[in-house]
Structure 1
């Protein structure tokens, strides 16, 4: 992470350039960038978080930049500390994730005194989530499944049990990827729809509902011929914490051409 002097400037803010990773041609393992704001502060035994939030902006040329708006203050838990020992640490604010799909390093603006760091996340290949649940071994996650709705009108239920990963210090997240198999031409296509997170009252659990009519958006390039092919078109994804103690329950529209996949993301070092 380095300070830069971009064409765009903001009064009262300092610019920081993220580093991007060149992807190998044909690679099916994308990279996400986590933008992490923070500030070196003196803290006690409590957990502290920097107050603030990101705003995404778009320049006239279509390039994006990000502004972390913060007053530089932190909130903390209110546990009684055993002594008055204090230490200095990097107090993090709420981070955001962006796709590493541009050769131009994204620029982040933050107030003076606030640092911007980044973590690059690497992913597995996509795996399908099964519609039917067949589990023969009882685990904490299979027991918890009893609290989730078994059906939703107009939707199929998909359930994912994540394997427990022992003796690992690496942070992981799971990305849920909806898709529809349809006929396409030479243009780039994307499935229309959004994920809605629903809470299960009294349990503290949640599940996902992908709301979509199956419509597909596309670029408007003129194709050289009328050749068409059938392929899986994916839509907006949902990124969540990796937790093997709970099932991932997803409701997808009840249509034969709908499906859902997942990727596991693994964090690199904070820089």
Structure 2
């Protein structure tokens, strides 16, 4: 990203221009995301440091909404005892913001004075279906951990995903979970209504997901040129999580024949 002087300004903040090219309409390229990463170059020790602050949206005089990272420039850190007093310069990152590049992207992102904004692209695998009532024969660490998770939830089906261990790789990865329903659709854009709720397993620190939905669908209201309808997969709000092969991914979705769940793995590119 580059520091710019945008046509729209925000007192006390700097503007940074996104440098991402959206795919052409109808392109067969796999989807991609851009992560907006706020940070500050600081002197650090052996601990892990994280910049405090958060993104919000603000409307400016042009009527458009912009992403704004607000921070006082301070950082939190772990409290390990370092073996010496060695210090080094490091770009200390804050909480990133993920955007799909096939959607309308903001031309400018704002950040508090003294905060720098970088970006990186994430590329995805093809979507894969998650399995219901999965059986496992190998006692991996994730399979053993599954015993702590609830086996059932009234009105829901349980889906389980065991992620493979990836050795000799330093690339950062995430997993995106996507719910969907198979139904008849027309030429409009359709969206499954509902949301993911993250539940905690007491005493373990593990989490699982519940997709709460009545199966309702909302859509645009374009006038279709004919009454042709087809069977299609209508997806809903997704959940993005860290890639962790040591724990299972457990998801509960409504117990309905036309509901399904998919996942895809995202891989981070270079931070620029």
Deviations for 1:51-103, whole angstroms, at most 9, x for unmatched residues?
11111235687754210100111122222222222221111111111111246
Whole-angstrom distance in 2 between the partners of 1:212 and 1:12: 41
What is the match of residue 156 of structure 1? Answer: 157
- Give TM-score, length-normalised by structure 1: 0.95
Shift in Å at residue 191 of structure 1?
0.2
Listed as ranges, the matches of 1:247-258 within 5 Å are: 247-258=248-259
1:150 aligned counterpart, secondary structure: coil
Indicate how the Cα distance of structure 1 residues 28 and 207 shifts in structure 2: closer, same or farther if over 3 A, else same. Answer: farther
Give 1:1-271 correspondences, 5 Å limit.
1-23=1-23, 25-27=26-28, 29-58=30-59, 63-102=64-103, 106-271=107-272
CA distance in 2 between counterparts of 1:223 and 1:36 reads: 41
Contact 1:28 1:125 in 2 (8 A): no
Structure 1 residues 82, 104: closer, same or farther in 2, change over 3 A? closer
CA contact (8 A) 2:174 2:242 kept: yes
For the aligned residue pairs, the C-alpha RMSD in angstroms reads 1.6
State how far apart, in whole Å, the 2-side matches of 1:231 and 1:52 are. Answer: 41
1:109 Cα deviation after fit? 0.6
Q: Shift in Å at residue 14 of structure 1?
A: 0.6
CA distance 1:86–1:96, shift in 2 (3 Å): same
The TM-score with structure 2 as length reference comes to 0.95
Note if contact 1:44-1:81 (Cα within 8 Å) is conserved in structure 2.
yes
Residue correspondences, number: 271
CA contact (8 A) 1:57 1:66 kept: yes
CA contact (8 A) 1:189 1:233 kept: yes
Change (3 A) 1:106 1:190: same
* Structure 1 segments unaligned to the other structure (5+ residues): none
8 Å contact 2:23–2:29 — kept in the other structure?
Answer: no
